[in-house]
Structure 1
Amino acid sequence: MRAVRLFILFVFIQITISTTATAQKQFKALIVTTTRGWHHESLHAGVLALQDLARKNFFDAVLWEDPNGFTDKYVAQFQVIIFLNTTGDIFDSAQQKVMERYIQSGKGYVGIHSASDTEYDWDWYNKLVGRMFHIHPAIQTAALNIVDTTFPGLQGFANNKLWTDEWYEFGPEKITELHYILAVNESTYNPKADWGARGKGEGMGKFHPIAWYHNFDGGRAFYTALGHMPTDFSDPAFLNHLYAGIFWAATGRK
């Protein structure tokens, strides 16, 4: 009798494992890491962190590796495309149209850190991101402020949390109705930057946003300027913030 019970238990466990393994994931994300300029040291840590987030939160994360494979047919399988520390002009004109049609079909985009230092000459992409990188001072520690307490994943940034990063100064809004969720307090660090012939930065003043989201052209876009440091991608506060943005961009739920 005991042997029969053990056999039944074994069969139940096997069925459970099989069902879990074949169950449909929540959504599927494509990770784009192409750089045509500065290559961030945090890229490798970022890819590993996104893949770990996928395992923990039951979604698929696929690294885009085929330069010629960015087609309508290929991207149709994904619910969100993540630009992880991309830089420069990474898409040709045909790929740009693929990305535009993808968002227009109701899908999502997530930009991490230097995704705002990407495709300056592509006006549609500028609007997708919302604001573009201008300059940054030296890496420093500063205090963060939560702007929108209704957006999830921000618990780790409460009470003016100190954070060390590369504080991007952004140009003007490229589109209206950006919903800001995190800002950095410029009074807690020195925002001035001087890049010689490339220009100077004086900071953004009283309100310096670093993360936001918005609906755009039929789809959704989330951006966070955090993510310069490799250690960011092992910090629970940042990972919660990042997953909340990915989940919203992929599903429209928050």
Structure 2
Amino acid sequence: MPARILVYSATAGYRHDSIEASIEALRAKASSVDIDFDFTEDNSLFTDDHLAKYDAVVFLDNSGKVLDDAGKVALQNYLNLGGNFVGIHCAADALRDTPFFGKQIGAYFDYHPPLQESVVEVVDNTHPSTAGLPARWKLLDEMYNFQSDPRAVGAQVLLTADESSYSGKPRVSRWFDHGTPHPIGKLSLPWYQECGAGVQQECVAGRSWYTGLGHTIEIWSDELFLGHVLGGITWVLASKTTRAFNKEGKVGNPPTEV
């Protein structure tokens, strides 16, 4: 039985014109990674019963308050039961009023320089989401800066932006210390959490993976980028906290009985 993933792309603020392209790209790649993707922008589907069907939830380019209070509770419950989480690009600008979501995604978006060709450098090439990338990867995308250091909630950074490769002066924030060795403003890219920090104490924590990349329509037809995203998605599923991979899981797509 394939893993089953809910991809949620609702927006309540800025809406990326690449959302439709990203949905089509994931749909086209589903069979190659043995995943069933369900795509929705219906926040009423965030209930305990509905989320219990999924091995992971992907927040795709969301912005603003895209869940009501009941939906937030259902998402928290899902994560507490071992559900896995993926955030892509603008998802870091969603649910800013929801502390557990901020921890689960790792950090909230702060700002970005103008869209331009930039270079990112691989920090860890052993992770499935970076294993296929060149050591220095040139691409056209936004280099996100964040309001906090994702390492503060236990995240491990996978890529960093080469700040000398693009223009746009860093904005000085009065809210946080950017961290070292690179300013966190330049750690604009993917990270992962082996145990998602948004899970409440004494609960089962699935995995979390986030990438700040994915702004343009064109990048969603780039095989390097798609390998990056699919590597992150397949990595969270390997937590084995859900039913597609663990018969004792509390959420997820159960394997077919033989």
TM-score by length of 1: 0.82
Number of the residue aligned with 1:34: 10
Number of the residue aligned with 2:243: none
Unaligned runs of 5+ in 2: 200-204, 241-258
2:163 to 186, 208, 221: 186
Are the counterparts in 2 of residues 108 and 249 from structure 1 also a CA contact under 8 Å? yes
1:250 to 237, 242, 246: 237
Are the counterparts in 2 of residues 107 and 250 from structure 1 also a CA contact under 8 Å? no
Give deviations 1:29-57, integer Å, cap 9, x for gaps. Answer: 10100001111010000101111121222
Residue 211 (1) aligns with residue 198 (2): no
- What amino acid does structure 1 have at the position aligned with 2:95? E
Please give the alpha-carbon distance, in whole angstroms, between the structure 1 residues aligned to 2:6 and 2:162: 33
Q: Larger C-alpha radius of gyration, 1 or 2?
A: 1
Number of the residue aligned with 1:157: 133
Cα RMSD for the two superposed structures: 2.1
2:207 to 191, 215, 220: 220
- What amino acid does structure 1 have at the position aligned with 2:213? L
Number of the residue aligned with 1:231: 218
Unaligned runs of 5+ in 1: 1-23
Please give the alpha-carbon distance, in whole angstroms, between the structure 2 residues aligned to 1:231 and 1:172: 29
Question: Displacement of 1:252 after TM fit?
Answer: 1.8
Q: Are residues 65 and 140 of structure 1, via their aligned partners in 2, closer, same or farther at CA, if it must alter by over 3 Å? A: closer
Number of the residue aligned with 2:248: none
Please give the alpha-carbon distance, in whole angstroms, between the structure 1 residues aligned to 2:149 and 2:129: 24
Residue 136 (1) aligns with residue 115 (2): no
Once the two structures are superposed, the pairs formed by residues 53-202 of structure 1 within 5 Å of their partners are 53-173=29-149, 175-192=152-169
- What amino acid does structure 2 have at the position aligned with 1:227? G
Give deviations 1:106-126, integer Å, cap 9, x for gaps. Answer: 111100000001111111101
Please give the alpha-carbon distance, in whole angstroms, between the structure 2 residues aligned to 1:242 and 1:173: 22
% same residue: 30
Number of aligned positions between the proteins = 223
| Worse-matched range after superposition: 112-121 or 47-56 | 47-56
Structure with the bigger percentage of helix = 1
Q: Are residues 47 and 34 of structure 1, via their aligned partners in 2, closer, same or farther at CA, if it must alter by over 3 Å? A: same
| Higher relative contact order structure (alpha carbons within 8 Å, sequence separation ≥ 6) | 2
Question: Displacement of 1:155 after TM fit?
Answer: 4.2
Question: Displacement of 1:66 after TM fit?
Answer: 3.3
TM-score by length of 2: 0.81
